């Protein structure tokens, strides 16, 4: 006590320290709450910013997609406009894949199946025509429909030089393949001719009365150009329908129905025109391969000169003019397809 009194100092109190600690704790708590709140606000802002960025990116993607669609549409329209303005280039552009020549075409085994298909198909058509003639269009339609479906996957079921020449002229097939198809069609018709002749011979020996092989009716004097024009018109229809059927080449039945329907229509139109206005019947065929064995060539004449003239006229009417008509039919189909912008639809077929 004496020492304390001598020094004159009072003892320090602990209360201010406690208060300072509480204040520090309160400041610390407030600071931590503020930090948490700031973190929350920052994260919310970041989320909002991310959402905005995502929306902006989505809009940009949508804009790019729309832009690409518009560009594709513009390019398509340009292509169509070009094809409309210069459809001659489209006609003569190569429409088949690969290169074929006499040295390479037989390396592909499919060519043998295609040629056999053409031989077999034209043989069946020859049997039908040599038996029924051209005056039963309803029967012809269903028989042709069945034959085309049977051989379509093998060769494309051209089965007519009109179609083959049209395919070559519009560059849908190579020349060497077209020539092989033409030879196969002639061979097939010849087989059909031999079969019918054999049946006629057997029938004559069994029945006792000889049946005549069907032949083209003789063209009456003054009607030569009428018959020629009707063959030409019928060939145009045949070629046009076969060319339009290419749009259904992935659908066998639709393709076959279009081709068979086109041939049947050509038979009906030509028959009605020839019989109704000129009284002609049995003077048309619309198939050069069949015509060659259907008695179109004269067997006799007053002299060699007249015989050659008769042969030339028959070939002109039943072979050359129908082939030209078929090519025109193909070009008419291409013109129609160009104005309908078929160039844009070929990939969808």
pTM of the model: 0.72
pLDDT at 6: 45
The dihedrals phi and psi of 64, each to the nearest 5 degrees, come to -65, -40
**Eight-class DSSP state of 156:** -
Residue ranges of domains in the chain: 92-343
Residue-wise pLDDT for 134-175, tens only, equals 888 889 999 999 999 999 999 999 999 999 999 999 889 999
**pLDDT greater than 70 at residue 79:** no
pLDDT of residue 118: 95
pLDDT value for 4? 43
- Residues 216 and 294: beta-carbon distance below 8 Å: yes
Q: What angle do CA 178, 259, 265 make, to 5 degrees?
A: 125
pLDDT for residue 346 = 46
Q: How much is the pLDDT for 165?
A: 95
Chain segment 175-210, per-residue pLDDT in tens: 999 999 999 999 999 999 999 988 888 877 777 666
Give a three-class secondary structure readout of 47-87.
HHHHHHHHHHHHHHHHHHHHHHHHHHHHHHHHHHHHHHHCH
State the pLDDT at residue 199. Answer: 87
Q: Which CATH class is domain 92-343?
A: mainly alpha
Name which residue leads in pLDDT, 14 or 235.
235
Placement of tokens 């169509």 in the chain: 80
DSSP 8-class letter at 316: I
345: left (phi over 0), alpha (psi -120 to 50) or beta: alpha
Nearest to 341 by CA among 146, 58, 81, 148: 81
**Burial of 348 from C-beta contacts in 10 A (0-12 / 13-18 / 19+):** exposed
Distance CA 3, CA 168 (A): 134
């Amino acid at each position: 006590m004496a020492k304390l009194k001598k020094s004159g100092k009072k003892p320090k109190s602990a209360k201010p320290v406690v208060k300072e600690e509480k204040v520090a704790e309160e400041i610390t708590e407030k600071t931590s709450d503020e930090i948490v709140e700031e973190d929350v606000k920052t994260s919310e802002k970041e989320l909002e910013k991310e959402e905005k960025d995502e929306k902006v990116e989505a809009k940009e993607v949508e804009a790019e997609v729309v832009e690409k669609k518009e560009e594709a549409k513009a390019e398509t329209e340009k292509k169509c406009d070009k094809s409309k303005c210069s459809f001659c280039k489209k006609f003569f552009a190569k429409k088949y894949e690969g290169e074929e020549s006499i040295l390479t075409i037989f390396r592909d085994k499919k060519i043998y199946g295609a040629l056999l298909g053409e031989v077999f198909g034209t043989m069946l058509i020859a049997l039908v025509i040599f038996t029924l003639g051209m005056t039963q269009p309803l029967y012809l339609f269903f028989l042709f429909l069945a034959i085309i479906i049977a051989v379509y996957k093998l060769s494309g079921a051209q089965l007519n030089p009109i179609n083959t020449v049209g395919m070559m002229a519009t560059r849908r097939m190579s020349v060497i393949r077209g020539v092989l198809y033409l030879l196969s069609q002639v061979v097939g018709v010849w087989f059909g001719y031999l079969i019918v002749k054999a049946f006629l011979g057997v029938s004559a020996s069994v029945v006792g009365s000889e049946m005549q092989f069907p032949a083209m009716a003789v063209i009456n004097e003054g009607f030569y150009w009428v018959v020629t024009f009707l063959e030409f018109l019928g060939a145009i229809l045949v070629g046009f329908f076969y060319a339009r059927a290419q749009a259904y080449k992935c659908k066998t039945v639709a393709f076959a129905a279009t081709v068979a329907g086109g041939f049947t229509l050509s038979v009906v139109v030509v028959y009605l025109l020839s019989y109704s206005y000129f009284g002609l019947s049995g003077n048309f065929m619309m198939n050069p391969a069949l015509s060659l064995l259907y008695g179109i060539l004269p067997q006799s004449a007053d002299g060699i000169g007249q015989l050659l003239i008769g042969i030339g006229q028959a070939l002109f009417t039943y072979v050359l003019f129908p082939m030209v008509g078929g090519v025109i039919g193909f070009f008419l189909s291409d013109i129609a397809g160009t104005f309908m912008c078929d160039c844009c639809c070929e990939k969808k077929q």
